[in-house]
Chains A and B, each alone.
Chain A
Amino acid sequence: MTPSDSEQTKTQQPDLMDLAQKRDLMQQRVAASLKRRHASEKRFRLYGMAAVTVALSFVAILFITILSKGLPAFWQATLTLDVYFDPEIIEIDEKPVRQPGESDGAFQQRMLAWQTDLGFVNFNRIILNSLAEVLPEAPRYQRDAMRLVTSGERFGLRQLVEDNPAIVGQTLRLKLLADANVDVWLKGNIDRSLPDSQQQLSARTRAWADELAERGIIRNQFSTALFMNADSRSSLASAGLAGAFMGSLMMMLIVMFLAVPVGVASAIYLEEFAPKNRLTDLIEVNINNLAAVPSIVFGLLGASVFILWFKLPLSAPIVGGLVLSLMTLPTVIIATRSTLKAIPPSIRQAALGIGASKVQSVFHHVLPLAIPGILTGSILGVAQALGEAAPLLLIGMSSFVASVPGSPFDQSTALPVQIYLWQGNELRNFFEARTSAAIIVLLALMISLNALAIWLRRHFETRW
């Protein structure tokens, strides 16, 4: 609007002038507010970006923390020593061989007697002797020297002899795990300037550890103990995940063989066969609610039903598997139902149209198309069960188990529970890293399960 225009209106219609002025003012106000509104628009957008960045950085911080703490723990201080299995120290009889006609019990008894004899052999002396080869001072300061090697290694040597008594009298080049405190010291996970009274190791042991590390006798080597051993409290350096892994594996198998078939079957019934009535409505509401029940409640259910009523053993993978199956069931049912829902009715109608029965149309035509989706949902359910710890604590799986379970009725722990147990260990400097390593193993398993699920979905996905 030009000024001459406004003047014209002013002269012609005084009322209109007022209006125009108002409009003018309004436009000025809008123009002025526009800046503010655009700024607020920009700010809003920034908030959004900031929120996404914050969420993403939480993921990054979480993974960086775990990886930076845990990765070094996969390598552990290890001594390489020549170990002489001195026949003068290892004085034992021939290993018993089963006689023909001997009963199970009798043979077991002779074997036990032999193993008891072997148990009395002083394997510490053998380790000390081989340490003396590299540290001539070692025999004089036995206590300090023995702190270099983790205490579990003497059982390792005993196992070697038990498996093959022929090595007595030979010299073998063996890798012995260093004590957890030596590992902490060499990795610098403890403040080196702390006074003696606050150090876990004596000054001599520390000096020896540094010396052996310099001479290349103690080296940081990939820790097979972490994967091959069960948990241990006496010999912390050789505590491993094997027991927990087997426990978790058994429970996952139980979940796969119980929750998946039952879940898929009930989803098929609810989606394809069930009449719409009160009862099926109830089942549906019930399943949705069950999916949101806190996992610890399933633990309470397991404790009172499986352990108190059915008298199943405490800490056993069979109970854990049953509890986790019940917990995973709703996930599998919901995933299967949504897959079945996505399959177009035309498939069913075509099958029914050419004379298939209802069961045939479902099992011959609908189900094969739904298999990728069902598999994806089931794998995600199993992965979720793999990471669950809370319900397992309530059925006694948090007890310390130093052996690898051989059957689902044996005592066992699970990977997440093992993480829980390790983070509480007193030797924090060592177990912070080892716990992170266990977390990395657990996350790696879960990520590979999820990746498998994503791959299945991508590979077999059909869009209707």
Chain B
Amino acid sequence: MSNLVLMTLLLMVMALAYQLGLTRSKRVAVTTNGTGFRMHSRPTYHGMLVAFWAVVPAAAIFAVWSLAQPGIINALVLAQLPPEFQPTTDTEQRILLRRLANLASGFGLTEEAADYELAAAAYLNQLHGIGRTLMTALMAAVAATALVLAWRRIEPHLRARNQMESIIRWLLIICSTVAILTTVGIVLSMLGEAFRFFTFVNPLDFFFGTTWNPRFSTVGTDGQTGFGMLPLLWGTLMIALIALAVAIPVGLMAAIYMAEYAPSKVRSTAKPIIEVLAGIPTIVYGFFALITVGPFLNQLGASFGLEIRTTSALTAGVVMGIMIIPFISSLSDDIITQVPKAMRDGSLGLGATKSETIRKVVLPAALPGIVGAILLAASRAIGETMIVVLAAGNSPVLTANPFEAVSTMTVTIVNQLTGDLDFASPQSLVAFALGLTLFVITLLLNVVALVIVRKYREQYE
């Protein structure tokens, strides 16, 4: 019986149990009517409770059994092999088990199978059958027992609603811990792998080294390699700065215009269109940089006698700037409109023009919020991957020239973890150390930004 059938059966049991609980509670309600007892809970709660008890223990058995069965069966099969054929290494054992599984499923092998293998495969098949039957039987027994017990508990006093509600509450609590577990998972997994990396490479060399040159793991770590992070950090910062240099003037001025000047019709069409920029997948920006912006900048540079490479820090930065315009413009727009009207009226009443009011009154009042928005956009730019993978040129050297190709932390993470690398070498473990650094940097930026934004909000609300 396949797992799918089993799950379907379980669902049917659930429906049946619900119905049984429902009808019994209704009957109990009718028979106790007039005897002075009133049902504590509505029939649906009784039904739900019975359904819960009928299905959840059985499903738990299924989960535990499915996890444990392969290991136990493999151990049993290996135990009954004649001693002379016992596999000696892990790899041999894996290959043997794979062969046996193929034999057992009836698809045969490319070469002839030995007698002992045939016997083992038959035994494997037999065990599978037994395991399956046992599990199904156990599930059926548990489901039936739990169903009957839960069903017989139905009586006027049973506080079915309260029990069901506490079950629901626990489910909700379990769900809300998933987010925490994710953070814990991120931190633990990155810390673990990063520490493994630091057993190969001195942390000081990593954080303050100026050469980035991780050889392939086959070459070994023989002094030739450099795991200095600074060129990557510098590339990341340079691209982020260029992006901010593009996005801050455009985003901020657009926000000011839309919040203070634009007629509502312009505002209601332009704002969503600009926000489209935030929804476009970053891989699309990367491609755009590669085929349009890069060649354009290259030609522009040529006409001024400058040599701008098609894939350079400038290309990646400009395109990334386009991407973060809406982050700055929407957030700043919200913050500017939140500045109280009385402040504007006061300034206008003293004879200031509108732009003076904006520059001298509204913007200073909104400044903390705008800084927060810019920091959020900056953290977005630092963690951005696909644009830089395609458009930054991937050359990890320390250069101050934005027209040259650079590399960033995110690009390097992708480069080190794609392709055939084993996870035990410093060449791939370095990705986790870089990821941890990236995580910490963006976390700090976000925390600072959130604190600034929150502090500002408290002033006016």
Contact = CB atoms under 8 A, between A and B. Distances in A.
Interface of A: 37-38, 40-41, 44-45, 47-52, 54-56, 58-59, 61-62, 65-66, 69, 103-105, 108-109, 261-263, 265-266, 268-270, 273-274, 282-283, 286-290, 292-301, 303-305, 308, 326, 329-330, 333, 357-359, 363, 383-384, 386-390, 393-394, 396, 398, 416, 419-420, 423, 432, 435-436, 439, 442-443, 446, 450
B385 A52 contact: no
B204 interface: no
15 contacts: A48-B261, A51-B251, A52-B257, A65-B288, A105-B105, A265-B175, A269-B173, A269-B175, A273-B172, A300-B186, A329-B179, A419-B283, A420-B286, A443-B281, A450-B279
A394 B326 CA distance: 28
Contacts of B439: 293-294, 297
State the 7 A-B residue pairs at the shortest beta-carbon distance, nearest first: A294-B383, A48-B257, A387-B281, A51-B253, A266-B176, A265-B175, A390-B385
A270 B176 CA distance: 7
Given A293-B383, A419-B287, A443-B284, A300 B435 contact: yes
B107 interface: yes
A286 B161 contact: no
B390 to A, nearest CB: 7
A50 B253 contact: yes
Contact of B413 (A59, A282, A288, A296): A296
Contacts of A62: 277, 280, 284, 288, 322
A293 B442 CA distance: 7
A263 to B, nearest CB: 8
Given A52-B254, A273-B169, A292 B442 contact: yes
B147 to A, nearest CB: 24
Contacts, number: 259
Interface string B246-284: 000111111011101110001000100110110111111
Interface string B186-205: 10011011000000000000
A196 to B, nearest CB: 27
Given A45-B257, A56-B274, A269-B175, A442 B423 contact: no
Contacts of B189: 300-301, 304-305
Among A109, A288, A423: residue with most chain B CB under 10 A: A423
Contacts of B11: none
B262 A52 contact: yes
Contact of A388 (B105, B169, B281, B443): B281
B382 A105 contact: no
Given A296-B413, A419-B283, A290 B383 contact: no
B146 interface: no
A59 B432 contact: no
A55 B281 contact: no
Contacts of B171: 265
Given A51-B250, A51-B257, A294-B442, 7 more contacts: A51-B249, A59-B276, A269-B172, A273-B172, A296-B385, A389-B282, A442-B284
Contact of A268 (B172, B283, B358): B172
Q: Is the interface of A mostly helix, strand, loop or mixed?
A: helix
B79 to A, nearest CB: 23
Interface in B336-372: 353-356, 358-359
B186 A394 contact: no
B281 A109 contact: no
Contacts of B379: 292, 294
Contacts of A268: 172
A266 B182 contact: no
Contacts of B277: 55, 58-59, 62
A219 to B, nearest CB: 27
Most A C-beta atoms less than 10 A away, residue of B161, B179, B277, B389:
B179
B258 A52 contact: yes
B57 interface: no
B457 to A, nearest CB: 14
B173 A297 contact: no
A69 B443 CA distance: 39
A238 to B, nearest CB: 22
A456 to B, nearest CB: 16
Contacts of A329: 178-179, 182
B283 A420 contact: yes
A37 B273 contact: no
Contact of B385 (A108, A262, A295, A304): A295
Contacts of A436: 287
Contacts of A396: 418
A289 B192 CA distance: 21
Given A51-B250, A62-B280, A265 B356 contact: no
A109 to B, nearest CB: 7
Contact of B283 (A262, A289, A389): A389
Contacts of A54: 250, 254
B137 interface: no
B183 A265 contact: no
A270 B178 CA distance: 13
Contact of B108 (A37, A58, A109, A443): A109
A296 B438 contact: yes
A133 B190 CA distance: 64
A437 B266 CA distance: 32
Interface string B106-137: 11100000000000000000000000000000
A398 B27 CA distance: 61
B92 interface: no
Given A55-B254, A269-B175, A300-B435, A439 B262 contact: no
B180 interface: yes
B383 A297 contact: yes
A37 B106 CA distance: 89
B222 to A, nearest CB: 27
A294 B107 contact: no
Given A262-B178, A268-B172, A442-B284, A45 B355 contact: yes
A444 to B, nearest CB: 12
A58 B322 contact: yes
A394 B438 CA distance: 16
Contacts of B180: 282-283, 286
Contact of B432 (A69, A290, A304, A330): A304
B292 interface: yes
Contacts of A40: 353, 355
B390 A45 contact: no
B168 interface: yes
Interface string B360-400: 00000000000000001001101111100110000000000
A394 B287 contact: no
Contacts of A308: 423
B290 A423 contact: yes
A396 B172 CA distance: 33
Contact of B386 (A59, A290, A358, A389): A389
B310 interface: no
Contacts of B178: 262, 266, 329
A211 to B, nearest CB: 32
